[in-house]
Amino acid sequence: MRRQIQPILLALAFSSLASRATLAEDLPVKAKPVPFSQPFFSLIDDRFTFSYIPKATDPGVFSRNPDGSLNSTTAMQVYSFTHFDIWQYGTNFLNISMFKADHNDPASPCTNAGVVVNPGTGVATPANCAGALIFTGQSRSTFGWNEIFNTKAFTVGPLRNVSFEVGLDLSSSNYYRAAAAQAVSAGLQFQFDLPYKGYVNVAPLATWIYMAHMGFLQCGGGFAPPVPGVSCLPDGNRRYQPTWAIETNYYMDLGFLPESVRYFSVSGRAQLLGALGPENSPLPYNPLPLAAPANSMTKISLNSEPIRLTFDASKAMWGPKFSHYVDVWVAYRYWQNKYGLDHNVSKLCTISPGVSNHTCTESSLYSGITMKF
């Protein structure tokens, strides 16, 4: 069973790339059998990925060009480790990623690109801060019904299996907002076959973001007026009610190509995350965008990579025995209402009512290289 998952939107710190993006979709296509000394697993696959996103976004973070227009994107280098295994009753997946932003998404003490603002006086002074670092972790485990009940009843037509799925997401960053998030997910996964030994997985999940820290909201630690429980949070931790999510991903070798050029595959993923209520919950709902802090309602978000084209470089160079030891790929990513923020209304997404700063929608080509070890 092969599998790919993208970092879920659950790095809901409203301030950095999670998703979870990355990248978690760099999952095994072909792996070496596990030695007899480890019979518990039928497959173990570990990989390292470097990728580059030229036009990532971070809600509320932008600079102005000399002509007055906004520079709303930030380039990011992404370093990822992924682990995937298959055991008797299911699969386990782990992804750990580090995102390194450029100067347009600065680390603390900068409050925006090239600017430090003194919380006491509100005076802005020029600064040249390094790009922020964002760390994300994600795990997913499945438990197949065919395996648990020792049956083939859940293999019908293109349906390969039905599984229970559980997961955990964590994130942390070093920019001024001190964003960090923790979330758990649970639900089902339906796995379907595609041609050429491909697959598509669909997982309806219940998701709970039980902690999402935001330094701006901490009483005395940011810019929020010091009225605990009304305009600021004593610990800066937002809390949300459980919501729903749908995660889907696919993979397929381009087996219809002539054997001499059969080095390519396509994959992709998408995630819908339900609305979470007010973005600064449990602070009172306050839709006024000029208020401090504004607290507009969140929206359904779409975090997707519709297609990734992968070239099996190791197979092309050294033959089928080394298939997918080195992959080179290019992909397109699209993220609407990033972290659940309403891109038309949220104060982080707009510079004035109805005027977007274009930081809550991400659209970018990106590429990378993945190596198995």
3-state secondary structure labels for all residues of the chain: CCCCCCCCCCCCCCCCCCCCCCHHHCCCCCCCCCCCCCCCEEEEEEEEEEEEEEEECCCCCCEECCCCCEECCEEEEEEEEEEEEEECCEEEEEEEEEEEECCCCECCCCCECCEEECCCCCCEEECCCCECEEEEEEEEEEEEHHHHCCCCCCCECCEEEEEEEEEEEEEEECCCCCCEEEEEEEEEEEEEEECCCEEEEEEEEEEEEEEEECHHHECCCCCCCCCECCCEECCCEECCCCEEEEEEEEEEECCCCCHHHCCEEEEEEEEEECCCCECCCCCCCECCCCCCCCECECCCEEEEEEEEEEEEHHHHHHCHHHCCCEEEEEEEEEEECHHHCCCCCCCCCEEECCEECCCCEEEEEEEEEEEEC
In angstroms and rounded to an integer, the radius of gyration of the C-alpha atoms of the chain is: 22
CA nearest 356: which of 370, 345, 341, 367? Answer: 345
- C-beta neighbour count of 241 within 10 angstroms: 11
Decide if 35 is inside a domain: yes
> In the chain, which stretches have pLDDT less than 70?
1-39, 119-122, 221-225, 287-293
Q: Which residues pair with 161 in a beta bridge?
A: 191
What is the predicted pLDDT for the residue at 96? Answer: 97
Decide if 97 is inside a domain: yes
> Which residues span the domain enclosing 199?
23-372
What is the predicted pLDDT for the residue at 291? Answer: 55
CATH (domain of 92): 2.40.230.20
Residue 221 CB partners (closer than 8 Å, separation 6+): 215, 236
Decide if 5 is inside a domain: no
Q: Which residues pair with 357 in a beta bridge?
A: none
Decide if 332 is inside a domain: yes
Decide if 2 is inside a domain: no
Decide if 122 is inside a domain: yes
Q: Which residues pair with 331 in a beta bridge?
A: 308, 366
State whether the Cα torsion 92-50-337-302 is positive or negative. Answer: negative
Question: Residue 52 — φ and ψ, nearest 5°?
Answer: -135, 125
Decide if 315 is inside a domain: yes
Decide if 213 is inside a domain: yes
Amino acid at 354: G
Residue 77 burial by Cβ neighbours in a 10 Å radius (0-12, 13-18, 19+):
middle
What is the predicted pLDDT for the residue at 222? Answer: 58
Cα(30)–Cα(323) distance, integer angstroms: 7
Q: For the chain, how many structural domains are there in total?
A: 1
